[in-house]
Homo-oligomer: A and B are copies of this chain.
Amino acid sequence: MTQTSNKRTAPKTCCASLGSMLTPRLFKALCDPSRLAILARLAEACAPCTVSEIAKCCPINLSVVSRHLAQLRDAGVLCAEKRGKEVRYAVRARELAETLRAIADALEHCCPAPVRSTQASTRNRGREPASQGE
């Protein structure tokens, strides 16, 4: 149980919102290397791209790319616009950034200063969340 005066029966309101933000859907969409490559390529392009264009830069079948794009779209990461017989996907950068920042805010607001005692961890001293190439 927690070390504070009360138990878990009192999830602070800020943490409740964090809990509702921590939905697997977004992270599920972003947890696959192929989908991340697609997202990066799409962000690079900075403009809507067709499925075929995106598939050119991936070592996987075009149909698989299509499926990945649909999954990213369903997760709200991409938006799709049909033009003729092509479908152009683009990154919903602003919305995605907003979501990530909302999680970040809730996280910090919930835990303003995690155990500042001695950052001494078993095997994770001063490690940063996986971001840059590791």
Interface residues of A (CB under 8 A from B): 1-5, 8-9, 11-12, 15-16, 18-33, 36, 39-41, 43-49, 53-54, 56-57, 73-82, 87-88, 90-105, 107-108, 110-115, 117-124, 127-134
Instruction: Report the nearest B residue to A16, measured CB to CB.
Output: B44
Q: Is B19 a contact partner of A122 (Cβ separation < 8 A)?
A: no
Q: Is A46 a contact partner of B15 (Cβ separation < 8 A)?
A: yes
**Inter-chain contacts of A122 with B (CB < 8 A):** 80-82, 87
Q: Is A5 a contact partner of B53 (Cβ separation < 8 A)?
A: yes
- Nearest Cβ in chain B — how far from A123, in angstroms? 7
**Inter-chain contacts of A1 with B (CB < 8 A):** 53
